[in-house]
Structure 1
Amino acid sequence: MKEHFPTFSQDMTIEEIGEAGNRYIALQWRALYGSMHKQLTAAFREIEDAAYGLYLDQLMPVLFERLEEAGFGVMEETEKHDFVIGKCLVFRNSLEKWGAEDNRSRVFWNVIQNPQGQPLGTLFTDIPHSHLKFDIPSPPVLYTLRESDREQIVQGIRRIKE
């Protein structure tokens, strides 16, 4: 897979971070999907939705690593029973409420902190997927919110998704 790493700088807004992340995903998602499809189809038969975590473990770490290299904080402290995929996607910071069984949407959110540790906003990752077979019907998409409080984040996600 040809790498097209996202580039981030400390002066970027949350919206600019989302745009750079979406460019990276647009360039990478389909080739990665194709190269892993057979393996993930077999995995889906055994572990169902967890197969999407295997995919995100390959797609998302570069994005979060590049943000960290630019000085941004991308993840809160994990708790004992947290389940994390894609390097920084924490299941307790996710919702899955939208779409039919063959095209569901799970949204994970990460509050992004500037290099001084202040919340810049929230990056949320929308992962379309099927519960019937291994299928990602369209590319994952990053959305941004200026909010950083959990309740406001959930309201913002609902505003965008509904």
Structure 2
Amino acid sequence: MSKQLPAFQMDMKIEEIGAEGNRFLASEWRVLYESMHEQLTAAFLEIEDAAYGLFLDQLMPAVFERLEDAGFVVSEALREDDFVIGKNLIFRNSLEKWGTEDNRSRVFWNVIRNKEGQPIGTLLTDIPHSHLKFDIPSAPVLYTLRESVKEQIVQGIRQLKE
């Protein structure tokens, strides 16, 4: 990756964070995808969907680390049985209900808090992927919500995707 890292500042609104994150993802995902495609295609044959976690482990940490560097709190207390990819994408904080088997959509959510611990909104990470072979048909996309309560986040995701 050429690492045109995202630039976040503490005074950003959640929508600005999403826009800057999307700038980064749009500039980096394809190069990473192409560089890892052969390796991840082979991995998919053994570990299936977990191959996407290997991709996101390389793509997403820059977003979360730069948010933390700017003073935002992006993580939450983990449970013993949590499965985390991409540094801060927790499977219990995700939904996958949309699309066809060759172009599914899983949406993860992360409540973003300021340095005082107050939520400023939620960052949604939408990961398109295939269940039939290793394929990411289009760029991962960040969406934003002002809401920070799980029920409202789930409702916001459904409104976005349905």
Instruction: Provide TM-score, normalisation by structure 1.
Output: 0.99
Q: Determine the structure 1 residue equivalent to 2:123.
A: 123
Q: Determine the structure 2 residue equivalent to 1:13.
A: 13
SS at match of 2:100: coil
Alignment of 1:14-53 (within 5 A): 14-53=14-53
Using the alignment, how far apart are the partners of 1:99 and 1:134 within structure 2?
A: 16
Instruction: Provide TM-score, normalisation by structure 2.
Output: 0.99
Deviations 1:64-84 (A, max 9, x none): 000000000001110010000
Using the alignment, how far apart are the partners of 1:75 and 1:27 within structure 2?
A: 24
Q: CA deviation at 1:2?
A: 1.1
Q: CA deviation at 1:116?
A: 1.1
Give aligned pairs, total. Answer: 162
Instruction: Report the AA paired with residue 114 of structure 2.
Output: N
Q: Determine the structure 1 residue equivalent to 2:83.
A: 83
Alignment of 1:62-101 (within 5 A): 62-101=62-101
Structure 2 gaps of 5+ residues are none
Q: Determine the structure 2 residue equivalent to 1:132.
A: 132
Question: Alignment identity in percent?
Answer: 74
Matched, 1:103 2:103: yes
Using the alignment, how far apart are the partners of 1:78 and 1:20 within structure 2?
A: 27
Structure 1 gaps of 5+ residues are none
Instruction: Report the AA paired with residue 31 of structure 2.
Output: A
Instruction: Report the AA paired with residue 89 of structure 1.
Output: L
Using the alignment, how far apart are the partners of 2:114 and 2:141 within structure 1?
A: 22
CA RMSD of aligned residues (A): 0.4
Instruction: Report the AA paired with residue 93 of structure 2.
Output: N
Instruction: Report the AA paired with residue 129 of structure 1.
Output: H
Using the alignment, how far apart are the partners of 1:77 and 1:143 within structure 2?
A: 23
Deviations 1:22-76 (A, max 9, x none): 0000000000000000000000000000000000000000000000000000011
